[in-house]
Chain A
């Protein structure tokens, strides 16, 4: 395994000059205002943890958990300190010493990497949401009575699809005979929640002359595992996914999820087996705009849209102009920029569930920026952001859908 341990990253932590510029951009610090919330402090704590002056304690865990991994601090840091990587390394050390809570461990190790279980769970969730159970549960307050955390998790829960995309794929006939061979990495969210996005991606790619390959055994990208410090499971997933995707012989490996794409692009740091793999990974919007030239259809989409930069797509993968180029290319669509489009929405995977109140405060700032634009819809290139933004829009009583740029592009055909 090649990912650096916290001890090996001590040098990185010593690069910090404590200037405090990270305070300006850190969404968590913006809400809490206290020093432990900011990147500078996490770098210092990582350094003391690496040096053995501080130990893994509940407080250390709590502080290290207060990071969205949005990388805004890294982008704003004069010394280019990789706080994101230091925090992940600290979490890995915490997990090694303390393990994971049973349910979380089960979710990371058993559920997310298991495509069959995902299918069952999605179905169960769909039924829960569509047979009136969800409303009943929310109405009677039982969940809240059991646990506030559980209630928050339930509140942020996305709307599951009746059938996973993988299940639908069994009956879908992918076209052959295109000029370019691409492998499409299917994210868990596209699989379980945004199945329409999966269809749009396949449709758009085929219309751009691509043969699309979706290896069925490809699993979760490994981000949630890495975020909770479970480097071993993340590495296992990386090894397996890299092997399966490379075996398709595709020229490009495409993602429709900012977070998955960022993870895939960092597989080489995780497993040596992924050498050479990374160079083929591209976000779908980057691929369409930079490699092929995007070709929209004639059907207009009459609407004003504003674009939210997902952290892992923008700062992680440096993809920001391409999704906008796609939106601008769509006939009838008007792109109206919001203020601070690149500021984190506070979703960060399960962060919104585990730190609900804090996450909502980060989200409120995003909502106010969206409100100022008053768009017909919000576009975002990461399903995790979509889930968070949808929750925020509902909380703020705004009936504005959140869509992936590729879904909008697909509507033009």
Chain B
């Protein structure tokens, strides 16, 4: 519990109507998209950087945790207030401050919804490439804090590849600007990269300057069907090996296509074990050359049928199927664990095989789909959290999946982050030395362990 006068002080800082202490409000900020939850002590919705700075200073004086929160679509438990404290609800800081068409940059407040930003940028004939599947509800601040990815990551990378400058409130309440509008910037430590993906543990992001790219002239979609999932996975690796970088390269197994067809049919065939959905973009000429090469590679990998969408409508229909995958999973299962173990791209066939073996070993339904062009797998475990016995098998299966990904030279997370859920695997990836290094950074900048404590395997209070 926090001292009773804290809420009053927060009201003084942010205004009466922007501070919430009633159990109903606290409940609403206790969860994200995971199955975990914990109640904060108070919720405050600030409007300015100065307000946040004051809030953080107050939190330091009173030793109260502060958890920044955007759209609450986190898939790692990163915004759950496990140690109670103050939730900073960022929805009022939702302005696009500038789209600079001369420099191809944009500056936004953290509460801007990602898709809203996309639309604004596209109006100018530009593109902001990171496109997390949650982009219609996730915020730009959340994307930066979690270093969000998305299907276009194959060609365009993830959020960290676009952050040029940040304004940050430090864990002790200072206000700091790093980077700016320059494309080249090698002064000092790369703090942009440090904050991007810091999951709210090192600072509160209050303003973001991003790099934009010209919107591509053309795009085309190809859909290839395979009799075995192994062949489909091999095609993924082979495309990259042949030095073609599609915009998007998605792998789907039989199970996920079956679920999609029973949910919102788009005409996926039911008699194939695997399929890949590919989009290429660029100039009209490049796109046609690339799509022809991709088709050849798929055929060489024993593809049963290669279908190139003849127009935008046909392409849209194929992508509609992929996009409804999450809905299809939800419609068929009480609990869905969306994992995102990631491997080097040449290892896609290996991790696909391992996931299949693990599913069999633990008798679990794990449809496979993923942004496999960048090695980012999404094995989705369909389960029921009320079934304690099955949950044990789920836990063991997840352990084994991450073990496999790391053994293949991969990583624990391609785009969801560590948060609460993957803490226990952190020593596997970083070792004690690596973790100690991270902990010393955290301790140096956040001596009172104020910002989002209990996440990312960083030390707890009093540790």
Contact = CB atoms under 8 A, between A and B. Distances in A.
A137 to B, nearest CB: 31
B134 interface: yes
B137 interface: yes
5 contacts: A19-B73, A20-B71, A21-B136, A24-B137, A34-B45
Given A19-B73, A79-B331, A35 B29 contact: yes
A377 to B, nearest CB: 30
A80 interface: yes
B28 A20 contact: no
A80 B333 CA distance: 12
A59 interface: yes
Contact of A60 (B24, B33, B45, B94): B24
Nearest to A55: B23
Interface stretch (A41-49, A253-261, A275-283, A314-322): A41-49
A36 B91 contact: no
Interface string A1-38: 00000000000001101111101100000000111100
| From B23, B89, B92, residue with most partner A Cβ within 10 Å | B23
A78 interface: yes
A142 interface: no
Interface of A: 14-15, 17-21, 23-24, 33-36, 41, 44-45, 48, 54, 57, 59-60, 63, 78-80
Contacts of B91: 33-34
A45 B330 contact: no
B137 A20 contact: yes
Contacts of B33: 17-20
Contact of B72 (A15, A35, A57, A60): A35
A195 B23 CA distance: 48
A33 B29 CA distance: 13
Contacts of A45: 24, 27-28
Contacts of B130: none
Interface string B388-410: 00000000000000000000000
Most buried by B among A20, A24, A60: A20
Contact of B22 (A15, A41, A59): A59
Given A20-B137, A35-B72, A57-B24, A44 B31 contact: yes
Nearest to B336: A17
Contacts, number: 77
Given A15-B334, A41-B28, A34 B137 contact: no
A14 B137 CA distance: 21
B25 A36 contact: yes
A19 B28 contact: no
Q: Taking each of A14, A21, A35, which has the highest tally of chain B beta carbons within 10 Å of its own beta carbon? A: A35
A57 B22 contact: yes
A324 to B, nearest CB: 21
A72 B378 CA distance: 28
Contacts of B334: 14-15
B42 to A, nearest CB: 14
A123 to B, nearest CB: 42
Interface size classification for chain B: 35 or more
Q: Which 7 A-B pairs have the closest CB atoms?
A: A78-B327, A33-B91, A78-B330, A23-B137, A41-B28, A35-B28, A79-B330
Interface string B193-227: 00000000000000000000000000000000000
Contacts of A24: 136-137
A63 B35 CA distance: 23
Contact of A33 (B27, B94, B331): B94
A18 B23 contact: no
Contacts of A48: 27
Interface in B55-110: 71-73, 89, 91-92, 94
B367 interface: no
Given A33-B91, A44-B27, 20 more contacts: A14-B334, A18-B35, A19-B326, A19-B330, A20-B134, A24-B136, A24-B137, A33-B94, A34-B28, A35-B28, A41-B27, A44-B30, A45-B24, A45-B27, A48-B27, A54-B27, A57-B24, A78-B327, A78-B329, A78-B330
B330 A54 contact: no
A411 B461 CA distance: 75
A18 B73 CA distance: 8
Contacts of B45: 34
Given A19-B330, A35-B72, A78-B331, A63 B24 contact: yes
A330 B73 CA distance: 47
Contacts of A15: 334
Contacts of A79: 330-331
Contacts of A44: 27-28, 30-31
Nearest to A35: B28
Nearest to A36: B28
Contacts of A36: 24-25, 28
B24 A54 contact: yes
Contacts of A33: 91-92, 94, 111
B32 interface: yes
Contacts of A78: 326-331
Contact of B23 (A17, A21, A41, A54): A54
Interface string B306-335: 000000000000000000001111110011
A78 B94 CA distance: 27
B10 to A, nearest CB: 15
A192 to B, nearest CB: 37
Nearest to B69: A35
Interface string B324-350: 001111110011100000000000000
A167 B393 CA distance: 70
Contact of B330 (A17, A41, A57, A63): A17
Contact of B89 (A18, A21, A35, A54): A35
Contacts of A20: 33, 71-73, 134, 137-138
A76 to B, nearest CB: 9
Given A18-B33, A24-B137, A80-B331, A59 B111 contact: no
B421 to A, nearest CB: 14
Contacts of B32: 18
A376 to B, nearest CB: 29
A23 B330 contact: no
Contacts of B326: 19, 78
A54 B31 CA distance: 16
B22 A34 contact: no
Interface string B252-289: 00000000000000000000000000000000000000
Contacts of B30: 44
Interface in B114-149: 134, 136-138
B124 to A, nearest CB: 20
Contacts of B31: 18, 44
A20 B74 CA distance: 10
